[in-house]
Amino acid sequence: MQRRYEQLMRKCLSLAKKSEGYVSPNPLVGAIIFDDDFRIISQGRHEVCGRNHAERNAILNAKEDLKGKSLIVNLEPCSHYGKTPPCADLIIENGIKKVIIGMVDPNPIVSGKGIKKLKQAGIEVITGVLEKECTELNEIFIKNQLYSKPFVTIKTATTADGKIATKEGNSKWITDEISRREVHKLRNKYDAVLTSSDTVMKDNPQMTCRLKGGRNPVRIVLDTNLKTDPKSKIYNKDGTRVIIITSEIVSREKTKNYPSDVEILRCPEKDGHIDIKKAIELIYQQGIRSILVEAGARLNNAVIQTKSADKLIQFIAPKILSDKEAISFSQGCSRREIADCNNLIFISTKQLKNDIMIIGKFVD
């Protein structure tokens, strides 16, 4: 029985994943309704923020009576009125007899209450099916709910010896087209992409998602002194929200050089640069719940050293630069002991066409 539940839960997770980039700040959720023979009757997912939850879509998509059927979902059904009515109530109303849940909702408004309501209605509830996988899928939502902070991932592309560019700043192209496509998938997933004035001036990047049907993330530039060219590609008017975070002491006259639709936010400085922790707090206040950092050595280092990063995604190309003056993906600290390293737990390694994609989570 457990194995069959796990098979169905994996289908829920696959369903939920299809909505990446479209449900923030809500979680990714998929739901499946099945009978005693494990025949799938209906399925649904939360498709867009503000619209039906997964359980409601699964119930609405059903073509037969649901009395006595079972429902499996990767996240606890909600029990409160938000933008949509409670899913727990709808499950009860339709006579569903059993609900299998991947993980308890971390949202304190919901946490445990949906399960309690289902049990009080006489519904059998099973929890913790593929809980680890369910937690990983909604790591962004969990961080938001527990800490009221955005989930921050650093993305970097390096040679095998950890370099992102030559000493002259040349970096195109370290990785191949398959790796670059993976980066566009990440941009589609995250609410915002964050970069530095140095990167804008050196590379003049667009920071857009160039996948068919993809969604551009909010583009954010940390520019302490407003030294980037207002005509840089990242400021192109394409309907995407663009934000510059600059120093509190920059003159208002200087801000007038930038396109009128570019939002300019002010942030305190620390050691002559934007205070990273304050900047990330400011970004969260803008309704942005996840950040993909695509930057150079200095900003990457600042994000790591302030313990602002949750995850590292590193694309490693089968190339060795062998230049002591070449630029590493994170630079700026002087360490005497290996014990002083910032530590990661590697959670996955994937072979792409020529490159390797390694994903690690930062640990204290």
How far apart, in whole angstroms, are the C-alpha atoms of residue 254 and residue 228? 11
Is residue 334's pLDDT more than 90?
A: no
C-alpha 49: how far from its chain's center? 15
Local structure of 288: helix, strand or coil: coil
- pLDDT-based confidence at residue 82 (cuts at 50, 70, 90): low
Is residue 81's pLDDT more than 90?
A: no
**Mean pLDDT over residues 14-42, rounded?**
96
Q: How many C-beta neighbours within 10 Å does residue 152 have?
A: 24
How far apart, in whole angstroms, are the C-alpha atoms of residue 114 and residue 105? 9
pLDDT in tens, 341-358: 889 999 999 999 999 999
- pLDDT-based confidence at residue 329 (cuts at 50, 70, 90): confident
List active site positions.
Answer: 55
Q: What is the mean pLDDT of the chain?
A: 93
**Mean pLDDT over residues 149-161, rounded?**
95
pLDDT in tens, 216-249: 999 999 999 999 999 999 999 999 999 999 999 9
Q: What is the pLDDT of residue 173?
A: 83
**Mean pLDDT over residues 91-105, rounded?**
96
CB 41 within 8 A of CB 62: yes
The residues facing 133 across adjacent strands are none
Q: How many C-beta neighbours within 10 Å does residue 244 have?
A: 24
Spell out the alpha helix ranges (H) of 19-68: 54-61
pLDDT in tens, 1-23: 899 999 999 999 999 999 999 99
Q: What is the pLDDT of residue 19?
A: 96
Q: Domains in the chain and their CATH numbers? A: 2-143 (3.40.140.10), 149-363 (3.40.430.10)
Tell me the percentage of the chain whose pLDDT exceeds 70. 99
pLDDT in tens, 258-302: 999 999 999 999 988 999 999 999 999 999 999 999 999 999 999
Amino acid at 352: L
Residue 329 vs residue 123, higher pLDDT: 123
**Mean pLDDT over residues 159-163, rounded?**
90
How far apart, in whole angstroms, are the C-alpha atoms of residue 257 and residue 59? 53
